[in-house]
Amino acid sequence: MDVKRFYYEPNAQVELDIKPILRNIIIGLDEFIDFVKQKYPVDFDKYQSSLRLEYMKLAGEENTISYGVWVDKLVAEYENKKPPLKATDFGFLKLSILAFLSLLKFENYVDQFDDTHTKWDATDMIRAMNVFDYYQVSSLLSIMSKQDAIKAISEFIENKLEERRNPEKYDKSVGELIERISPGYERWRSQDVAIKVEGDKRAIVRVSRCKWAEVMEGLDKDLAHAMICNTDFKNATIFNEEFILTRTQTLMQEADYCDFCYHDKRYDNDLIHPPKQEFEILIER
């Protein structure tokens, strides 16, 4: 059986330029805040106050002093941004960047940070990107129920994913899809993954360890699952509208492993999710 494997490394490092990462983080924050402002105008001030409080807790006075020069440099890049930020004022922007850097444990990187490529601990970076977004999501609970918050999260993310759809760049097969996503596993080394591609019909993926699930420990699992895991179903169709993802469990929901199966409707007519045994045989002996 031909199985492609990728391995989790606890101390994996990833070389990145933080500026594009932070730019995407800030744009995502601004777009989500604008989404809440447009959809829930009556409750918007209450929502933003809740999010501000969470970011203030993360930022802290000590980080405000320690990171000040870097935050000022990063904020300056947005002052003449075209188009301008829709819903985020510069005071809140500065607070948000401080919150992100605190999640990143930026004090460990200040001495080597040179505005270009720096080696970051993969766990630190994954935590910063996802927990930063999590507080945008969890702050919705100040104005609505968890069930409604999950619906709002799903609507926002699925709409953003749909904007990326480009039929001219569709993957031609599930095998090509696996080739597209595999470099991410290799680069981040933050998941134990076993993949079996069954011709053009389907690709079975077992994830038995995942830093994305680990960094969300202690936070609301339902919200974390909605923002990180649940949109995998929509994302599969963005690669090609003929692809369907089935999955019955995730590590985020405290299962032993995630059981992904990518089907191609053109060749897999029944779309039946593989039985447990097919995932069990992917365990490395």
Q: Give 97-159 as a 3 state SS string.
A: HHHHHHHCCHHHCHHHCCCCEEEEEHHHHHHHHHHHHHHHHHHHHHCCCHHHHHHHHHHHHHH
48 alpha-carbon distance from chain centroid: 21
Contacts of 284 (CB under 8 A, 6+ apart): 5, 194
pLDDT of residue 86: 84
Question: Which value, in Å, is the radius of gyration of the alpha carbons in the chain?
Answer: 20
**pLDDT above 80 for 164:** yes
pLDDT, mean of residues 49-55: 97
pLDDT of residue 201: 96
Sign of the torsion angle spanned by Cα atoms 100, 105, 107, 109: negative
pLDDT, mean of residues 57-75: 79
**Token pair for residue 243?**
């692809």
pLDDT of residue 83: 64
57: enclosing H helix or E strand: helix 44-66
pLDDT of residue 23: 87
pLDDT, mean of residues 30-45: 96
- 212: nearest Cα among 122, 106, 108: 122
**pLDDT above 70 for 116:** no
pLDDT, mean of residues 137-152: 98
Contacts of 197 (CB under 8 A, 6+ apart): 2, 4, 174, 175, 178, 203
Residue 17 binned pLDDT confidence (cut-offs 50, 70, 90): confident
Residue 63 binned pLDDT confidence (cut-offs 50, 70, 90): confident
pLDDT, mean of residues 121-144: 97
**pLDDT above 90 for 71:** no
**pLDDT above 90 for 200:** yes
**Inter-residue contact 139 to 45 (CB < 8 Å):** no
Residue 76 binned pLDDT confidence (cut-offs 50, 70, 90): confident
pLDDT of residue 203: 98
pTM, rounded to two decimals: 0.93
Question: Scanning the structure block, which residue is given the tokens 């994913």?
Answer: 161
pLDDT, mean of residues 234-259: 97
Q: What are φ and ψ of residue 228, in 5° steps?
A: -110, -45
**Inter-residue contact 117 to 20 (CB < 8 Å):** no
Distance CA 19, CA 42 (A): 34
pLDDT of residue 278: 96
pLDDT of residue 159: 96
3-state helix, strand, coil in the chain (%, to 5): 60, 15, 30
Residue 196 binned pLDDT confidence (cut-offs 50, 70, 90): very high
pLDDT of residue 115: 62
Distance CA 214, CA 105 (A): 17
Question: Which range among 53-67, 69-83, 263-277 has the greatest average pLDDT?
Answer: 263-277
Q: What is the mean pLDDT of the chain?
A: 92
pLDDT of residue 82: 62
pLDDT, mean of residues 23-48: 95
**Inter-residue contact 33 to 43 (CB < 8 Å):** no
End-to-end CA distance of the chain: 13
pLDDT, mean of residues 95-114: 86
Q: Give the CA distances from residue 232 to residues 138, 229, 236, 268, in Å, rounded to whole numbers and listed in that order.
A: 20, 6, 6, 19
**pLDDT above 70 for 282:** yes
- 232: nearest Cα among 207, 215, 198, 214: 207
